[in-house]
Amino acid sequence: MKRDFLTLLDLSAEEISALLKRAIDMKSGIDANKCPLIGKSIGLLFEKASTRTRVSFEVGIYQLGAHPIYLNPNEIQLGRGETIPDTARALSRYLDAIVIRTFGHGLLAEFSAHSSVPVINGLSDLHHPCQALGDLMTILEKKGRLKDIRVAYVGDGNNVANSLIEAASVTGMNLTIACPEGHEPDADVLERVRAVANSEILILREPKEAVGRADVVYTDVWVSMGQEKESKKRKKRFKDYQINSKILSCAKKDVVVLHCLPAHRGEEITDEVMDGPQSAVFDQAENRLHAQKALLEMLVS
Ligand code: CP
Ligand code: NVA
C-alpha cells in the first residue's frame, strides 16, 4: 500500500520521531555509501519556482541511488490539457514516487487518488510539510528536544504556518502565532490539531507578546507565491510584524531564529537578524536535504 506525504499528519508522532533520528544520523555521515533506492526513479513536478526544495530533493534522490526527473508542467502534456488523473496514471507506470509543488492543495489529493506510487507535497498553498520536517530537525539539533519548546511564529498564517502548527501538535512544542486579523492560519488545520493537540497553540495579534520568552522565533514572507497581486496591500498590513533586533530582545537570550527562505530582507526580517548569531536559517535550509532523504527512505524503499 503506497503512503503519501501531503500534510505532516500523514506521519504518526512515532514515525516523525524515527524519521528525525534517521535524518540526524544521515547528516552525520552514517550509511553515506548505502544506496537504498538504487534503480528507482522519482519525479519532481513543480508548478511554482523553487530553489531549496527542488535542489535538495534532486541531490537527496541522487545520494540515495535513485534518479530524479524534473517535470515542468509546461513541457509535459499536463500543460496542454491532459488531465491530472491521466497524468497520475501514466506517471505511476514509470516512477516510484513523485514530489509535487502546486497551488491548490486539492490537486495533490486528486493526483494521489489516481497514483499508485507515493505522492509527496513539495508545497501547496495550504501546506509545506517537507519544510516542517526540516524545521523540526533544526529545532531538535539546536535545542536538544522538541517537547515544551516555545516557538513564536510572526507574520502570515500561510502554508508554512499551517505545517508548523501540525508539527507542534505532534511533537508537543508550544506554538504562538502573531498575525494581523484576517491572516490567521487555516481554520480546518487549527480545528483538527486542537482536537488532538498535546501542545498549546495560540493565535494573537501582538508580535512582542508572541516572541516573549520564546526559544525559537520563526517568520516567512508576507507575500507568498501566487499572491503577487496583493503585494502592496500585504506589505502595508504586515509592516509591524518584522523580526528585527528590537523585537528579538524580548525572546530568550539563546533564541534561535528560523525562516524557511527565500527571505525578503528588510521586510519580514532585517539583515541584522538574518545574518546575526541567533540565525540558523542556512542550517535549516541544509536540513531539508537530510530530512527529505529520511522521508524518501521511509516511503519509497
Ligand atoms: N523553503 C522552500 O521551500 O524554499 P524553495 O521555495 O526555494 O524551495
Ligand atoms: N509561504 C511561502 C513559502 C516559500 C517556501 C510561499 O508559499 O511562497
The one-digit pLDDT tens for each residue of the chain (301 residues) are: 999 999 999 999 999 999 999 999 999 999 888 899 999 999 999 999 999 999 999 999 999 999 999 999 999 999 999 999 999 999 999 999 999 999 999 999 999 999 999 999 999 999 999 999 999 999 999 999 999 999 999 999 999 999 999 999 999 999 999 999 999 999 999 999 987 766 789 999 999 999 998 999 999 999 999 999 999 999 999 999 999 999 999 999 999 999 999 999 999 999 999 999 999 999 999 999 999 999 999 999 7
Mutate to test the pocket of ligand 2, among 103, 222, 225, 259 (most ligand atoms within 8 A of CB): 225
Annotated active-site residue 288? The verdict is yes
Calculate ∠ Cα 88-67-283, nearest 5°.
100
* Domain CATH code at residue 184: 3.40.50.1370
How many angstroms does the Cα of residue 132 sit away from the middle of ligand 2? Answer: 12
Regarding whether 139 and 47 lie in a shared domain, the answer is no
Report residue 44: phi and psi, to 5°. Answer: -130, 100
Mutate to test the pocket of ligand 1, among 50, 55, 227 (most ligand atoms within 8 A of CB): 50
Annotated active-site residue 290? The verdict is no
In a domain, 3, yes or no: no
Which atom belonging to ligand 1 lies closest to the Cα atom of 261? Answer: 1
In a domain, 136, yes or no: yes
How many angstroms does the Cα of residue 33 sit away from the middle of ligand 2? Answer: 33
Regarding whether 138 and 176 lie in a shared domain, the answer is yes
Give the DSSP H/E element, type plus range, for residue 271.
Answer: helix 271-274
Alpha helices per DSSP H over 74-156: 84-92, 105-113, 129-143
Domain that holds residue 210: 130-283
Regarding whether 155 and 278 lie in a shared domain, the answer is yes
Regarding whether 97 and 80 lie in a shared domain, the answer is yes
As for how many domains the chain has, the answer is: 2
C-alpha distances (whole Å) from 241 to each of 25, 211, 234, 244 are 36, 11, 11, 9
Q: What pTM did the predictor assign? A: 0.98
What b/e sequence results for 238-249 when a residue is b if at least 16 CB atoms lie within 10 Å of its CB, and e otherwise?
Answer: beebbbeeebbe
- Looking up cell 519509497 gives 300
Regarding whether 52 and 42 lie in a shared domain, the answer is yes
Residue 262 contacts residue 51 (beta carbons within 8 Å): yes
Report residue 129: phi and psi, to 5°. Answer: -70, -30
